[in-house]
Structure 1
């Protein structure tokens, strides 16, 4: 999937000599990363809330998040075509307005209340986020020196983690904290009247989110974003025939790496509240457990800032391998331990997950040269892997919630494989040739 000319990555030649030209744009893009991280983070408190309101099992609960990530697969190609038609800046505005419309729709879903309308509105919000993701990630990855791309994207992605860190207290207070289901233990059975009253708690937080999204859209509509270059995006048809994405091992194995990583990250985040609420783990109410999500996402934010610093001195593949080993170890502790040890080990996996998406992304597009756009698009589409989180929900229903985290541990092993072997670049575009657009 290729992004349109004039809407992808700027030449680093212009950036290298005059960083201030892009600094304001990168700061504005960082605010987008923060906002979509915040909205995604709300889901972690929204899901246990919906589980209580609609009396869902784990499979039905994780299906809600699956719908969210199916939007990445469905909306990626239409997003690229929209960018080609209306341009980069207008697409960002449209993406924010689509997210705002979905947030207003969540208020309607809570008023009815309706499980089906809730799914539809979450799909709409995620489609708006996809439009932002399609352009923002490759922009940040390419606007600078290739060797520091992982460091740069980790730094900006830290703002995404800041958003996910701020979201749990927001959701815990405005959603779980104002409901019957969120303030009692997990064994309490709610009456139909209590479920109906609980459903209305979603109206206020999503109303606030809608206002912020619309205001941010107005700011971006008036902001003088720099023109996007096309030095790594468009090549002649004759030249395009001489290149193939399938010759690039780092991309071929990078797409499933993103896909599999999302299964791990989303599974941990979505089932966290239910897991730590169990009597033999931490025995918390849903509201209390939601507050502990702050530590999970905070660890991810710290890890990305730290990873950005480390990768300026140590190869990205080496750092990725070390973090994947750490994630595997703490997930085994989560599966086999009990009490606070199991809770804190699950929290710690946020730190080890921190660098995985931005690092895999930049390793995946390394050396693609004129194929960078298409490779970036495939990696963004792979975010749809989060839709398979329902598989962990099925495992939780069948074998128990704690045992279901063995799936997460298995995902970490594939990331280790990618870091050690799959990320090594191969293909028709030599390192010197791939670097030409940055000269």
Structure 2
């Protein structure tokens, strides 16, 4: 899944020596890995909960909607918390909140309770939001400004590694240990089987909670570099001379992020149920969970490929080409059957790979001293993932396969943004002072 970057501070504070720098970067990379890993566990958790609680697609996608609503609700409180207690403590608090939510998932599985499950997933997502707000600036700080982009790419790669490994973890420890996960699509479970399946979630979330607690302890004891002046915002007086709404690339970029998230999350969350259908791949949820690895793996490969292409081709053109590719494969997934439809849906991961970071960078282009405010709006747009419930409603009303027409429409908006919406208007020079 796509994760939100923040604007890079103009100054940096270097750690005392190379060893401290490397250790700090490893810790930060581990955070990116963990929130990518935990977020994508949802892709195998959703079909599991659909079976346990006998949910329709609307109720199933509501689970993911709650997850992304947390981004919208927790973003501003997270920023205020960081201002009060600092970045390092915020990282520890974020990990602790996630650990509490993970342990709460074991309670939800023991009851079992759909409502408690929703609440605990919201808690986990709120913790991840705090990590998102706190961790990204650190990546730019620990080391020299010249290598900031390299560090950001490195931790984003770790995020992709987490998203790629999570489906196998979920397939083995959740779907593979449940009756619903190892049965054919549409199998009817007894009450005893549902209870046993619900409790299969306990072990994986206990393991996740343990790792989060260990990370929190390590970070609490580690001497991370102080943000110092690098974290201060540019003077408000300078920003008063400009308006965000005069920049077309930002105005159309915010809905582009919002709409793209609907497409990415909808594909990932309904993937297992889709390929498990008899007229698609006719496999169990456990087996489908392993194929999900290819979807996320394609996103990782696409990021490296897109990065290399953009060294010679304008980002807008690359984004347009990838959006056309995504539109075509989504039509194939919607109107064909068998393995053709399955592999078409898998391949959309490759085309989705560059969309979030490319839209983000195009959206803040030419904002100058307004870059931080523009970045904040784009980050808030991640809440668009909550509207995956619309696709769930479409799946219930018109069928799961036809619901992917919504994804195809989302790709068309990204194409519009690449061809016209991303062109900057009233671009201004970045006059922010260098801070020391």
Give your verdict on TM over 0.5. Answer: yes
After TM superposition, the structure 1 = structure 2 runs for residues 305-344 of structure 1, keeping only pairs within 5 Å, are: 305-344=304-343
Give ranges in structure 2 of 5+ residues lacking alignment. Answer: 1-5
**Number of the residue aligned with 1:72:** 71
- The Cα of 1:329 is off from its aligned counterpart by 1.1
Indicate how the Cα distance of structure 1 residues 330 and 33 shifts in structure 2: closer, same or farther if over 3 A, else same. Answer: same
**Number of the residue aligned with 1:395:** 394
SS of structure 1 residue aligned to 2:122 = helix
After TM superposition, the structure 1 = structure 2 runs for residues 64-103 of structure 1, keeping only pairs within 5 Å, are: 64-103=63-102
**Number of the residue aligned with 1:381:** 380
Q: Distance in 2 between matches of 1:14 and 1:263?
A: 37
User: Which piece of structure 1 moves more, 317-326 or 69-78?
Assistant: 317-326
**Number of the residue aligned with 1:117:** 116
Deviations, residues 62-81 of structure 1 (Å, cap 9, x unaligned): 00100000000000110111
Q: Distance in 2 between matches of 1:274 and 1:402?
A: 10
Contact 1:176 1:287 in 2 (8 A): yes
Asked if 1:30 is matched to 2:29, the reply is yes
Q: CA RMSD in A?
A: 2.7
Deviations, residues 197-231 of structure 1 (Å, cap 9, x unaligned): 11000000000000111111122223333333656
Q: Distance in 1 between matches of 2:146 and 2:427?
A: 18
- The Cα of 1:232 is off from its aligned counterpart by 8.1
Q: Distance in 2 between matches of 1:438 and 1:413?
A: 41
Deviations, residues 129-175 of structure 1 (Å, cap 9, x unaligned): 111112444665799889996x8755532321211110111111100
Contact 1:176 1:286 in 2 (8 A): yes
**Number of the residue aligned with 1:201:** 200
Contact 2:229 2:435 in 1 (8 A): no
Give ranges in structure 1 of 5+ residues lacking alignment. Answer: 1-6
SS of structure 2 residue aligned to 1:175 = helix
**Number of the residue aligned with 2:411:** 412
Deviations, residues 75-99 of structure 1 (Å, cap 9, x unaligned): 0110111111111111111111111
Q: How many residues align?
A: 428
SS of structure 1 residue aligned to 2:200 = helix
**Number of the residue aligned with 2:353:** 354
SS of structure 2 residue aligned to 1:64 = helix
Q: Distance in 2 between matches of 1:435 and 1:81?
A: 23
- The Cα of 1:115 is off from its aligned counterpart by 0.5
SS of structure 2 residue aligned to 1:210 = helix
After TM superposition, the structure 1 = structure 2 runs for residues 98-247 of structure 1, keeping only pairs within 5 Å, are: 98-137=97-136, 153=152, 155-228=154-227, 230=229, 233-247=232-246
Q: Distance in 2 between matches of 1:213 and 1:147?
A: 28
- The Cα of 1:235 is off from its aligned counterpart by 3.0
Q: Distance in 2 between matches of 1:307 and 1:12?
A: 28
Indicate how the Cα distance of structure 1 residues 168 and 364 shifts in structure 2: closer, same or farther if over 3 A, else same. Answer: same
Asked if 1:272 is matched to 2:271, the reply is yes
TM-score by length of 2: 0.91
Contact 2:7 2:375 in 1 (8 A): no
**Number of the residue aligned with 1:11:** 10
Contact 2:369 2:432 in 1 (8 A): no
Contact 2:12 2:140 in 1 (8 A): no
Q: Distance in 2 between matches of 1:192 and 1:374?
A: 51
User: Which piece of structure 1 moves more, 92-101 or 154-163?
Assistant: 154-163
Q: Distance in 2 between matches of 1:109 and 1:351?
A: 35
Q: Distance in 2 between matches of 1:135 and 1:313?
A: 33
SS of structure 2 residue aligned to 1:178 = coil
TM-score by length of 1: 0.90
Q: Distance in 1 between matches of 2:274 and 2:83?
A: 44
